[in-house]
Amino acid sequence: MTTLTNRQVRLAKRPVGTPGRECWSFTHEPVVQPEDGGVLVKILALSLDPAMRGWMNEGKSYIPPVGIGEVMRAGGVGTVVASNNPAFAVGDTVNAGLGVQEYCLIPAAELKASGIFKIDLRVGSATQWLNVLGMPGMTGYFGLMDVGMPQPGETVVVSGAAGAVGQTVGQMAKIKGCRVVGIAGGAAKCDWVVKELGFDACIDYKAGPGAVRAGLKEHAPKGVDIYFDNVGGEILDDVLAKINRKARIIICGAISQYNNTAAVQGPKNYLSLLVNRARMEGIVVFDYADRYHLAVAEMAGYLKDGRMKSKEDVVKGLDTFPETLLKLFNGENFGKLVLQVAESE
């Protein structure tokens, strides 16, 4: 058997501000076959997520940072190419924490922590399993449903509307009978969010100063009952100024702040929570792991019957990882950002 080579992207240094190519090192090493209980996965596609920026920082968070010299953490989809574990057969497609590399050897002891599970490509494509049916979809689903608790007729606003989480939130909120207003960057994304995903409106935050405030006034005339926040910063403050009594704000991320070298900008309108007896609550998707299968089953049904769509922005090639990741932070990605590592098994 020919020895296969595994190419890898490792964290070389912690970034200050926007992470450039100097933060990464490219390595290669022979692929190692799995021992008792382990599996070897050939990676098809990796999920690139805003949360990755946080994993690059030192310090306490909801999971430990990636260590210097370690393969960069990433969730992905791949094919089992060797198995010493009866639960996984060669040819199975799996979703797991695989890392930014071509092959991932998962020893028996690390299977559980990797979050590995088999996926059914008849239910959704590999990239859909990284989007609506994957972590972003689960984040949007449980954040909206469990924390937001949408009621028919309520107004739901979601930032990052064209992104992976935003797509799920907005489409689920429409299915639940809400008025849905997205916030996204640029006319093309906004058009797509309205025409393809069926949002009631989408505000282009890049349309100039005051665009979000004016857009909310026009498109959320009854105020905002639920705000699903992926961006933080000024947009969070603009929405806080328009919330209704007993509003729920889901804090999922703050992509506008992740590359700040100064302190995070706190929401200066937070006292709107007091006036409106409203709630702001953080969500971490892992807390809902025991119910992922229920959300997948529900949303797979919507994908099949056309009530939901799943758009991915697929970029090819492991080598492009440093630059592709930055698309998330300058708002260039159009749909869920996916790095395609291999064409097929």
Residues in contact with a second copy by the rule CB under 8 A: 60-62, 232, 237, 251-254, 257, 263-284, 287
Beta carbon of residue 282, minimum distance to a second copy (angstroms, whole number): 4
Closer of 71 and 250 to a second copy (Cβ):
250
Closer of 63 and 188 to a second copy (Cβ):
63
Measure the CA dihedral 289/294/300/303, to 10°.
-100
- DSSP letter at 124 equals S
Closer of 31 and 255 to a second copy (Cβ):
255
Beta carbon of residue 154, minimum distance to a second copy (angstroms, whole number): 18
Tell me how far apart the alpha carbons of residues 220 and 238 are, in angstroms, rounded to a whole number: 12
DSSP string, 240-252: HTTEEEEEEEEE-
Beta carbon of residue 264, minimum distance to a second copy (angstroms, whole number): 5
- 114, 88 in Cβ contact below 8 A? no
Closer of 9 and 235 to a second copy (Cβ):
235
- 30, 3 in Cβ contact below 8 A? yes
Residues ≥6 apart with Cβ < 8 Å to 168:
131, 132, 136, 137, 139, 140, 141, 144, 299, 308
Beta carbon of residue 265, minimum distance to a second copy (angstroms, whole number): 7
Beta carbon of residue 117, minimum distance to a second copy (angstroms, whole number): 22
The angle subtended at Cα 189 by Cα 130 and Cα 127, nearest 5°, is 15
Closer of 176 and 279 to a second copy (Cβ):
279
Beta carbon of residue 260, minimum distance to a second copy (angstroms, whole number): 10
Listed residue (311, 303, 4) closest to 184, CA to CA: 311
Closer of 107 and 223 to a second copy (Cβ):
223
